[in-house]
Amino acid sequence: MLTSIVDWFLYVLLDLNSEIKWVQSLNFFIYDSVKIIILLFLMISIVGFLRTYIPPYKVKNWLSKRKHGVGNLLASIFGMITPFCSCSSIPMFLGFLEAGVPLGITFSFLITSPLVNEYLVVLMLGFFGWKITLLYILSGLLIGTFSGLILGKMNLERFLEQDIHNKKSNMKEQVFNKIRERLIFGLKESKSILKKLWLWILVGVGIGALIHNYIPRTVVEMIISKGGIWTVPIAVILGVPMYGSCAAIVPIAVALFRKGIPLGTALAFMMATSALSFPEAVILRSAMKLKLIGIFFLIVTIAIIITGYLFNLLQLTIL
């Protein structure tokens, strides 16, 4: 529906040529910006509504008072069953922070949520089969859990923006007597967060649109195929700035694999593209200082590279 509207606006109403690169980038930019903003508005409203039934201190206690690492695992599992991309999982990540959930646990959710979701799993089952898909799910869960654990041990809360700290300290339990009050609270939460994020979203999606349409897939395939022993880190470094949906990412990984690129290298590229992106970094800037974003990206990148090499070692056993 949205695709048809954007296509009609650009190609019929404005009579632009769909074969021109900048027009394709404009199409990508408009479609993804509108889609993300609508999804965020709906999602934040729903989450805000549901939060009125679950006081923040209960969420904090439930996740943070578990045995060592269990909170991270639970957050990763929750991230795994939520159908969010790297950008649309950020509002829930911010909600966890505001509720006082430890930073490392919230990172476990933020990492796993885009890395493993039902759309990606269905596509992988069709292209790779159940064995590789199952191992991918387990590796995504482990990356989220252990990366969150490492980040949590580094005491990085000082690199959060002051606004997040203020919201933590001012968090008060509200009493809601009617469903209407709960709905209004959810809508207000959505409006408040989007007022802070909309510009970051447009900048992030704009960067993604340029990269998506001006870096040909064949160039990515050629660079990775000539990387030798360094193919995994090269694939991850190339994957981080890429931005696209699961429907676009999985076929590229399959094409790489069919061209003789090792399985772990192809999956590492897919993981990096799913879990890390420039648009995500731009949006996270509203809540984090650059140093924290850099540390977060570095830890997850290292985890993905290690996983890619492990998949390459296990390739003969898996297939």
User: CA 298, CA 304: separation in Å to the nearest integer?
Assistant: 10
Question: Which pLDDT score, from 0 to 100, does residue 160 have?
Answer: 83
pTM of the predicted protein model? 0.69
Question: Which pLDDT score, from 0 to 100, does residue 200 have?
Answer: 67
Going from N- to C-terminal start, the domains of the chain cover 21-318
**Per-residue model confidence as pLDDT tens for the chain (319 residues):** 788 898 888 888 888 888 888 888 888 888 878 887 887 788 778 767 876 776 656 666 666 666 768 889 988 888 887 656 666 677 778 777 777 788 888 899 888 887 886 667 776 777 778 888 888 889 989 999 999 999 988 988 888 876 665 555 444 556 777 888 888 888 887 787 777 667 767 776 776 677 666 666 666 667 776 767 888 898 888 887 766 655 567 777 777 787 778 888 888 888 888 788 777 787 788 778 889 999 999 998 999 999 999 888 887 676 6
Q: How far apart are the first and last CA of the chain?
A: 39
Structure tokens belonging to residue 175: 């009493």
Can you give the length of the chain in residues? 319
User: CA 234, CA 145: separation in Å to the nearest integer?
Assistant: 24
Map residue 288 onto helix, strand or coil. Answer: strand
User: CA 136, CA 30: separation in Å to the nearest integer?
Assistant: 32
Question: Which pLDDT score, from 0 to 100, does residue 17 have?
Answer: 85
Question: Which pLDDT score, from 0 to 100, does residue 145 have?
Answer: 93
Burial class (CB in 10 A: 0-12, 13-18, 19+), 115: buried
